[in-house]
Amino acid sequence: MPIDPTTRPGDFRTEEMILNMGPQHPSTHGVLRLEVTTDGEVVAAVRPFMGYLHRCFEKHSEHVSWTGVIPYTDRMDYLAAMNNNHGYVIAVERLLGLEVPERAEYIRVIMAELNRIASHLVAFGTFGNDIGAVTPLVWSFRDRELILDIFEKACGARLTYNYYRIGGMSGDLTPDMLEDVRKFLDYFEPRLKEYDDLLSYNKIFLERCAGVGVIPLNMAVNYGLTGPALRGSGMRWDLRRDDPYSIYDRFDFDIPVGEGRKGEIGDCWDRYMVRMWEMAESVKILRQCLAQIPEGEYMHPKTPKSIKPPKGEIYVRVENPRGELGYYLISEGKTSPFRVKVRSCCFTNLAVTPAISQGVMIADLVAIIGSLDIVLGEIDR
């Protein structure tokens, strides 16, 4: 640009610049593109662009059997595939009016809570990596491998499991597998304090997260936030307790919420700490499952080979690691669904980003996205 001859020494001229963050940038937690309007290092506006991972999940579901949809649910939030399976099979079972055996219900909760811990471990490690700490990522993946070993024994897979079935599970958990779960809990519980000593209360980490990206409670509710993003703003809402499904009403556990201990209620640190505290609560639930699990069938013996629910529709929501995942199903009495619509918790949580990012530094935007813990496979579907 030619120099303006009227400009005098000491005069400054600024203008906004549009910066693309992603869709390959590691801090966007998948193929998310953020169009960031900046004034120097200060963020003036943010526009999220999605769709780079769109796989037509909902349309595909109309052309496969009811059971054939289950592997597609694995690939939405691929860090919580067990939880995705869980919500879908509950919805189909309610359409069918099908009771699930007691043992299968316990196996479902065991797998869902193990997957919740595995998912939160990835959130812990990648969020630390976003802020500039490498060790948490190494430690979290080291410990997550122990959960994946259990999953591999149960269903043969380590990422997309296809383990849940309409009417039960595809296989039982042997006494050895249940003992593996118990050994993991004994190993893992002391690690939580190590994580806090390493990262949660680290001075640099606190300065990067405390008071940054504050989501007031009324804003969280108005934007439809759920999961740790909502609980981080102070609302004690968890479907496992407040609208119980499966057998969650049988267990004693707490619902951690943000308290503004290091900054303000609803900041990045609160959202992060809710996940850390939730891992301890999942350990509580798992120990109760191991103590209570009965003998019996792992699959309803009268589950029809060809699933054909009667005409009707249903909406079921479950508490995934990232919030409320909802399934709206329509049946026309055929072997394939007429409609499968998914309510993505990551999509609604991401929607608040423009509202809380104005006036922050670019480095703070990285912390905000990391604290929301999104997975683009679920957002795009």
Q: Where are the domains of the chain?
A: 67-346
Is 153 strand, coil or helix? helix
Cβ neighbours around 35 below 10 Å, total? 14
Query: Is the CB of residue 303 less than 8 Å from the CB of residue 168?
Result: yes
pLDDT value, residue 12: 60
pLDDT value, residue 302: 85
pLDDT value, residue 138: 95
- Sign, CA torsion 130/39/349/342: negative
Q: Which pTM does this prediction carry?
A: 0.92
pLDDT value, residue 25: 75
pLDDT value, residue 1: 45
Closest listed residue to residue 57, CA positions, set 46, 45, 69, 67: 69
- Tell me the pLDDT of the chain (381 aa) as tens digits: 455 555 565 556 677 889 898 788 777 788 889 999 998 889 999 999 998 889 899 999 999 999 999 999 999 999 999 999 999 999 999 999 999 999 999 999 999 999 999 999 999 999 999 898 999 999 999 999 999 999 999 999 999 999 999 999 999 999 999 999 999 999 999 999 999 999 999 999 999 999 998 999 999 999 999 999 999 999 999 999 999 999 999 999 999 999 988 889 999 999 999 999 999 999 999 999 999 999 999 999 888 888 999 999 999 999 999 999 999 999 999 999 999 999 999 999 999 999 999 989 998 999 999 999 999 999 988
CA–CA separation, 159 and 69 (whole Å): 17
CA–CA separation, 126 and 119 (whole Å): 11
The phi and psi torsions of 247 (rounded to 5 degrees) equal: -120, 25
pLDDT value, residue 217: 95
Rounded (5°) CA angle 18-23-60: 135
pLDDT value, residue 7: 54
CA–CA separation, 329 and 272 (whole Å): 33
pLDDT value, residue 6: 59
CA–CA separation, 54 and 41 (whole Å): 32
Question: What order of strands is seen across the sheet that includes strand 42-49?
Answer: 17-21, 33-39, 42-49
CATH class for the region spanning 67-346: mainly alpha
Q: How far is CA 160 from CA 99, 119, 292, 321, in A?
A: 25, 13, 28, 16
pLDDT value, residue 315: 96
